[in-house]
Amino acid sequence: MKSKTYLIRLDDACPTMNRVKWSNIETILDRYNIKPMVGIVASNEDFKLKFTDEDPGFWIKARNWQAKGWSLALHGYEHLYHTNSGGVNPMHNRSEFAGLSLEEQESKIENGIAILNNNGLFPKYFFAPSHTFDENTIKALKSKSNIRIISDTIAFKPYYQDGITFIPQQFGSFRKIKISGVWTFCLHPNNMTNNNIYQFEKFINQNTDLFSSFDEVDIQNISSLLFVDKLLRYFYFRLREIKLLLNLGK
C-alpha cells in the first residue's frame, strides 16, 4: 500500500439517479481502471434523489459494477431523515439512523440488506446518509448483516473500533494532499455539473498513480484510533462549528 492513497466514494446510487451523469463518471473511471465504492440506497424515498423515472435496468447496472470489482456499500435504507442527531460522526444535524432505537435501526439494516441481496448484490461496506450514525447503528450492522467496514469518520488512516473497521472519509471534492494517509473523496454524481466532470477527469489524469480501490486497502494490520487521529478529528469538527457560526452571522 502506498504511503499516500486516494479513494473515490460515489454516493446516492438508486433506480432514479441521473443516469447520464453516472454513465459519464463510469466511463472516466473505466478509462483509468479506477474502482470506486458505490453507495446504494436500498429503497429510496428521498424526492431529492428522484432525477428520472425508475430505471428498470438499475439492478443489472449495479451487478455489473460488482462484477468488475467496484466496492458496494449499503447507503442507508430510504435515505430519509428522522432525527436531528449527529451521532458519533456529527457532520450534520440530521440522520436516518442516529437517535433511533436499536430495533428501528436493525429493521432498516435487515431490510436494506435483503433488498440488495435479492437483486444479486452483496455489499461489504456501509455508510449512512449525511455521514451520521451512532452506537446502535454499529450494533445493528453486527446483528443483522455481515458488514464490518464503515466508510466514514475523520482520521489519517483506517482503524479498528467496537468490532468495526473504519476507513475514514475526509473530503467532498478532489484536492492535492501533501501528507501520508488514506484519503477518501466523497462525490455525488447526481449533482455534478459538466465542469465538475471535466475537473474530475483532469484530476484523475494528473494523479492516476495515487488512486487505489477500497478492497486494496490494508485492513489486516491496523490499530485503534491513534492520538494524532483524535487531534485531527477534534480540530476538524471545531473548524466546522466555527464556519457554521460565521455563515449564520452573515
CATH for the 4-248 domain, from 3.20.20.370, 1.10.3720.10, 3.40.50.12280, 3.40.630.90: 3.20.20.370
Distances (CA, A) of 241 to 91, 234, 246: 10, 11, 9
pLDDT (tens digit per residue) in 83-107: 999 999 999 999 999 999 999 999 9
pLDDT (tens digit per residue) in 133-152: 999 999 999 999 999 999 99
pLDDT (tens digit per residue) in 19-40: 999 999 999 999 999 999 999 9
183 within 8 A of 5, measured Cβ to Cβ: yes
109 within 8 A of 76, measured Cβ to Cβ: no
Residue 222, by phi and psi: left (phi above 0), alpha (psi -120 to 50) or beta? beta
Asked whether the predicted pLDDT for residue 245 surpasses 90, the reply is: no
Asked whether the predicted pLDDT for residue 250 surpasses 70, the reply is: no
Q: How far apart are CA 221 and CA 198, in angstroms?
A: 37
> Look-up: residue for cell 444535524?
93
Domain ranges of the chain: 4-248
Q: How far apart are CA 135 and CA 98, in angstroms?
A: 8
